[in-house]
Amino acid sequence: MKLLENQIKAHGQVLGENILKVDSFLTHQVDPTLMREIAKRFAEIYDKAGITKIVTIEASGIAPALYTAEMLGLPMVFAKKSKNVTMNDAVLSTEVFSFTKQVSSRVSISRKFISKNDKILIIDDFLANGQAALGLLQLIEQAQAEVAGIGIVIEKSFQAGRQLLLDKGIKLTSLARIEKFEKGQVLFAVADDAEFDEK
Amino acid sequence: MKLLENQIKAHGQVLGENILKVDSFLTHQVDPTLMREIAKRFAEIYDKAGITKIVTIEASGIAPALYTAEMLGLPMVFAKKSKNVTMNDAVLSTEVFSFTKQVSSRVSISRKFISKNDKILIIDDFLANGQAALGLLQLIEQAQAEVAGIGIVIEKSFQAGRQLLLDKGIKLTSLARIEKFEKGQVLFAVADDAEFDEK
């Protein structure tokens, strides 16, 4: 998605070997207008896919997931990273390992929000090693629901996540794919939605 | 806000003495249509207030804050509950005590996102003891910015938060105010936006 790539070029900061900081429009401060454009793209691609629910993980996934849900006329569910006092129902739950933080943490969704009749589109802000996405896939599998695809705002294509998901036969839609960082600049691979830019 | 009160009556669950569970449309599964209506109300009330930025706290505050930001044509910033690896800038930071969890946790916003010229509207999903709101007020005070008001989706009026904020002279806009729970039912006090329902 050209608009997104341009935002990354203009406002993203490359930190060290493999970190891209996009806290001015996605992960800390959020630009609602850009989120809406991102959601439009996901909705365009998954419009006819029979999706029944959007699933993401707190916190940075919520903004793009929420708008995508609205555009498809669906509810959005965000997986929680810690068990809440009011979360007394049966839960779908799994461990997610963070390479950045080098710790595992538990991720949960109340079972009542995903049924085996659901067809789910997962939306997340970043794909790197794919552990968060794998965790969400496991939760959805526990509920015996179907996954129609995974929509990612920014993919770090030089890390393991993409191949991991493709190997599982999952449809992956990354709107910006980072090939590598070079001298503090971002070099992009062809995004999964590139054909929609041409329209 | 009548629409919101009706949603709470229809889908909220009263747990024990003082817990209201609204995880089917606000705190876990999110209804984008309702969030938009909530945001419309906040935007209507704060339209002429000269707001420059919406501030909330992850995770359940993000949805109503995002739509409010969009409607007012502003960016939204969410305070983070744990320090992120990419959060290497100077930060505004404070401790927030949770009565529910009986622990303090650190809440932070990168300093660069709030300047002393900002006029801020805080949006959050719940107001109970007011500790999260106080924490956000402290962060904004550290940045020497101004707070124009606090917009709350659901206030538990029988807890200390409301009076705490009013005593500080803060403008408070709670769209649903819970007077008490009685036999598992929710009894509402007059909401701060009640006059807008009449229009």
Q: Which residues of chain A have pLDDT under 70?
A: 83-88, 199
Q: What is the mean pLDDT of chain B?
A: 95
Across the interface, of B36, B62, B84, the residue whose CB is closest to A63 is B62
Contact B66 A27 (CB under 8 A): no
Q: What is the mean pLDDT of chain A?
A: 95
| A92: contact with B, CB 8 A cutoff | no
Contact A59 B62 (CB under 8 A): yes
pTM: 0.96
pLDDT digits (tens, 9 = 90+) for B141-193: 999 999 999 999 999 999 999 999 999 999 999 999 999 999 999 999 999 99
pLDDT band at B130 (very low <50, low <70, confident <90, very high): very high
At residue B16, the pLDDT reads 83
pLDDT band at B86 (very low <50, low <70, confident <90, very high): low
Mean pLDDT of B125-148: 97
- The domain locations on chain A are 32-178+189-198
Mean pLDDT of B9-29: 94
Above 60 in pLDDT, residue B84?
no
Report the distance separating Cα A146 and Cα A115, nearest Å.
9
Query: What ipTM, to 2 d.p.?
Result: 0.96
Above 60 in pLDDT, residue B14?
yes
Pairing of strands B29-30, A76-79: antiparallel
At residue A84, the pLDDT reads 57
Mean pLDDT of B34-57: 98
- Options 3.40.50.2020, 3.40.50.10610, 3.40.50.2300, 2.60.120.10; CATH of B2-198: 3.40.50.2020
Contact A77 B28 (CB under 8 A): yes
- Scan for tokens 């109970």, then name that residue: B128
| B33: contact with A, CB 8 A cutoff | yes
Burial class (CB in 10 A: 0-12, 13-18, 19+), A63: buried
Torsion of CA A52, A57, A58, A64, to 10 degrees: -60
Task: Note the CATH architecture for domain A32-178+189-198.
Answer: 3-Layer(aba) Sandwich (3.40)
At residue A170, the pLDDT reads 97
Contact B27 A85 (CB under 8 A): no
* Contact (Cβ atoms closer than 8 angstroms) between residue A17 and residue A26: no
* Contact (Cβ atoms closer than 8 angstroms) between residue A154 and residue A34: no
Which are the contacts of B71, defined by CB distance < 8 A and separation ≥ 6? Answer: B39, B40, B42, B43
Element (H, E) at A125: strand A119-127
Across the interface, of B21, B30, B80, the residue whose CB is closest to A28 is B80
pLDDT band at B85 (very low <50, low <70, confident <90, very high): low
| Assigned token pair, B9 | 């009556």
| B84: contact with A, CB 8 A cutoff | yes
| A179: contact with B, CB 8 A cutoff | no
Lowest mean pLDDT among A101-115, B37-51, B111-125: A101-115
Give the three-state DSSP class for A141: helix
At residue B87, the pLDDT reads 60
Report the distance separating Cα B130 and Cα A197, nearest Å.
46
